[in-house]
Amino acid sequence: MITFEGVTKRYDDGTVAVDDLSLEAPTGAITVFVGPSGCGKTTSLRMINRMIDATGGRILLDGQDVRQIDPPTLRRGIGYVIQQAGLFPHRKIVDNVATVPYLLGWDKKRARARAMELLERVGLDAGLARRYPFQLSGGQQQRVGVARALAADPPVLLMDEPFSAVDPVVRTSLQDELLRLQSDLQKTIVFVTHDIDEAIKLGDTVAVMRVGGRLAQMAGPATLLTEPADDFVREFLGRDRGIRRLSFIPAKDVRLAAVPADLALDASGRPLGWRTTGGLLPYGTFNPERDSLRAALDAALLAVNGTAVAVDEDGRVIGVATREALDEVLGQYAARHTSPAPRDPRPEEAHRTSAAAAPGSAPEVPAEASGPDGHAPPDPGPGNHTDGEGPRG
């Protein structure tokens, strides 16, 4: 667990980059710092591994003040990934990944074996290991950056806008990859981004910061979408909060109906379209085991008859979900979230407490702790992420 206690960074010229920041980044979860440029999110991150030293307050790593640890020693125990990957251009990929093991005095063979294992783990071909960084694409370099950060198996990973410099398609695949890795590894990750969608997708907890280095709200992504603490957070979250919120509701509770006769199937049971006199009409599919309610609703909207086709992993039809069936789930969901909890007059304080405290002491959103969200529990046990990942896929 990483704990910020009243952390302040004030530069000599009087600029305050981070102002009295208190929060906790729980063990084994992804905590995202998000905010506009100048909100002190990167500074906050860099104070954890002492790339920058705080001028006030303290940062605790599992209870120990980071200021008591010699910076290089501290940093060797913390994975660090930055925007441009920062790979050493003069070293082959395998040696880049093995940097920290070498520093820790591992023998060369073991370090390289570990590096090869990690390259495979982040989805890179073993043949790339002998190449130099300039021979790799931006996305590949970024994967190497992640592998390098994981090389010595540090419990904590700091990621400073790691995916900002790659194109959107690659970025999405890198994000999915990170979630997949995290479901295996359960590292304590602090992730900085200016992209709220990335924050919502990746974060178990999202800390929204405002210019001047102050915390605006800290909450699980689903809570953030439904209950932004103030106008700043609301504006920063942007449009379609309701729809985006559906990404956090799994589709597995949707009641499926039998396959109707007018759905044309091929020989192996995959959908072909909705039969009409004029021919086949478009259809949409979702996978109830893997997808969110958002995907199910989207599938329904694609078809003229408003019915979504449910498929299994192989794409074979297992049933259909009518609009009514979807409405039922939406209705149940809304009911759980319409009773307003007693509000603290200062929302910022309320949310800070909610994120920092144990699950039982966050009474305002009772559904969160056990609900389908899977994000908000501030102290997620192992496996939490596996649950949480399902509806995002």
Partner 1 sequence: MNWLIDFFSNPTNWSGPGGIPARLLEHLEFSVVALLLAAAVAIPLGLWVGHTGRGSFVVVVSANAARALPTLGILVLVVLLVGVGSTWPVLIPLVLLAVPPILVNTYEGVRGVDPDLRDAAYGMGLRGPQVLFKVLVPVALPLILLGLRLAAIQVVATATVAAYVGLGGLGRFIMDGLATKNYTITIGGAFLVVALALAAQAGFTLLSRVAVSPGVRRVR
Of 83 and 386, the one with the shorter C-beta distance to partner 1 is: 83
Q: Can you tell me the distance from the alpha carbon of 364 to that of 382, in angstroms, rounded to the nearest whole number?
A: 25
Q: Can you tell me the distance from the alpha carbon of 214 to that of 9, in angstroms, rounded to the nearest whole number?
A: 11
Residue 371: partners with Cβ closer than 8 Å, 6 or more residues away:
336
Q: Which segment (81-89, 243-251, 330-338, 384-392) binds partner 1 by CB under 8 A? A: 81-89
The SS3 assignment for 97 reads helix
Q: Does 133 bind partner 1 (CB under 8 A)?
A: yes
Q: Does 69 bind partner 1 (CB under 8 A)?
A: no
Two structure tokens written together for 72: 């290089």
- Out of 2, 59, 85, 224, name the contact with partner 1 by CB under 8 A: 85
What pairs with residue 213 in β-bridges? none
Q: Which segment (91-99, 190-198, 268-276, 352-360) binds partner 1 by CB under 8 A? A: 91-99
Q: Can you tell me the distance from the alpha carbon of 255 to that of 75, in angstroms, rounded to the nearest whole number?
A: 50
Other CB atoms within 10 Å distance of the CB of residue 34: 26
Of 49 and 188, the one with the shorter C-beta distance to partner 1 is: 49
User: Edge to edge, what strands does the sheet with 308-311 contain?
Assistant: 285-286, 308-311, 317-321
Q: Does 92 bind partner 1 (CB under 8 A)?
A: yes
Of 100 and 355, the one with the shorter C-beta distance to partner 1 is: 100
> In angstroms, what is the minimal distance from the CB of 282 to partner 1?
47
For helices 168-185 and 138-150, angle between their N-to-C axes, nearest 10 degrees: 20
Applying CB under 8 A, the site for partner 1 has a residue count of 31
Other CB atoms within 10 Å distance of the CB of residue 92: 18
- Out of 86, 269, 284, 347, name the contact with partner 1 by CB under 8 A: 86
Q: Does 112 bind partner 1 (CB under 8 A)?
A: no
Torsion of the alpha carbons at 14, 16, 20 and 25, rounded to the nearest 10? -140
**Taking the alpha carbons of 133, 154, 157, 105 in that order, is the dihedral positive or negative?**
negative
Of 89 and 360, the one with the shorter C-beta distance to partner 1 is: 89
Q: Does 87 bind partner 1 (CB under 8 A)?
A: yes
Of 91 and 234, the one with the shorter C-beta distance to partner 1 is: 91
Of 15 and 84, the one with the shorter C-beta distance to partner 1 is: 84
Q: Does 48 bind partner 1 (CB under 8 A)?
A: no
- Out of 12, 13, 37, 72, name the contact with partner 1 by CB under 8 A: 72
Other CB atoms within 10 Å distance of the CB of residue 369: 16
> In angstroms, what is the minimal distance from the CB of 87 to partner 1?
7
What does the binding site for partner 1 look like in residue numbers (CB under 8 A)?
Answer: 49, 51, 71-77, 80, 82-92, 99-100, 103, 132-134, 145, 148-149, 158
